Amino acid sequence: MDRIKLHDKYFVPFIPHEQIIKAIDQVAGKINDDFKESADVPLIVCVLNGSIIFTGELMQRLEFTCELTSIRVSSYQGTSSTGQIKQIIGLQNNIAGRRAIIVEDIVDTGATIVDLKNKLLEAGASEVRICTMLFKEEVYKQSIKLDYVGIRIPNKFIVGFGLDYDQIGRNTKDIYILESQESNS
């Protein structure tokens, strides 16, 4: 893992691929324990674009029948959240009476998760669980419980394994941290 440059910023190694995969294995194990006896077909809701890689890895490990759909929302511009959620692509599946698992790449303030969970419940979901690869616990401002958390991280800007900096950097297998924040980790 070497330092990388994305646009005008440098990023340094933070979480190696092996640690990410181990966390995904653990999260998948917990989800499997909760849903292995499922009589229904839960809906896995991938939050685009950042969660694509995480969702793909997670889906390969799920041992129960499930359905996959995607929704795209955005609240980031550059390296910080705008605090305003912009729904770009909506849910296309009928969720009425169904259980859903929202799969996010990262949860920080929690504004996106609350909005998504409420939208799914308003659409008639019988239950909505939340799964995130990364969790910035120190800045989380919501009362909604996260059901499945891969890795807890400090409130630093990161890229890789699906996460981006102005749409680039998603394709690295490791996760990198902004170089100027490295010493404060």
Handedness of CA 143, 43, 40, 118 (dihedral sign): positive
* Cα distance between residue 160 and residue 163, in whole Å: 5
Range of weakest confidence among 68-82, 97-111, 141-155, 160-174: 68-82
The pLDDT of residue 185: 53
The pLDDT of residue 181: 77
Please check the confidence at residue 154 and state whether its pLDDT lies above 90.
yes
Q: 135 pairs with which residues across the strands?
A: 107, 152
Fold topology of 17-155: Rossmann fold (3.40.50)
The pLDDT of residue 128: 97
The pLDDT of residue 169: 96
Specify whether 40 is catalytic.
no
Three-class DSSP category at 135: strand
Where are the domains positioned within the chain? 17-155
pLDDT band at 156; cut points 50, 70, 90:
very high
Range of weakest confidence among 32-41, 70-79, 109-118: 70-79
Q: Walk across the sheet containing 99-107 and list its strands.
A: 80-89, 67-77, 43-48, 99-107, 127-135, 148-152
Between residues 35 and 118, the one the model is more confident about? 35
The pLDDT of residue 60: 98
Which region, left, alpha or beta, applies to residue 124 given φ > 0 means left and ψ of -120 to 50 means alpha?
A: left
Task: Name the amino acid, one letter, at 142.
Answer: Q
pLDDT band at 90; cut points 50, 70, 90:
confident
* Cα distance between residue 158 and residue 135, in whole Å: 12
The pLDDT of residue 77: 55
Q: Are 140 and 107 in contact (CB under 8 A)?
A: yes
Task: Name the amino acid, one letter, at 53.
Answer: I
Residues comprising the chain, all counted: 185
The pLDDT of residue 74: 61
Region 3-23 average pLDDT: 97
Region 128-143 average pLDDT: 96
Q: Are 99 and 43 in contact (CB under 8 A)?
A: yes
- Catalytic option among 2, 34, 40, 108: 108
Please check the confidence at residue 76 and state whether its pLDDT lies above 70.
no
Q: What is the pTM of this model?
A: 0.90
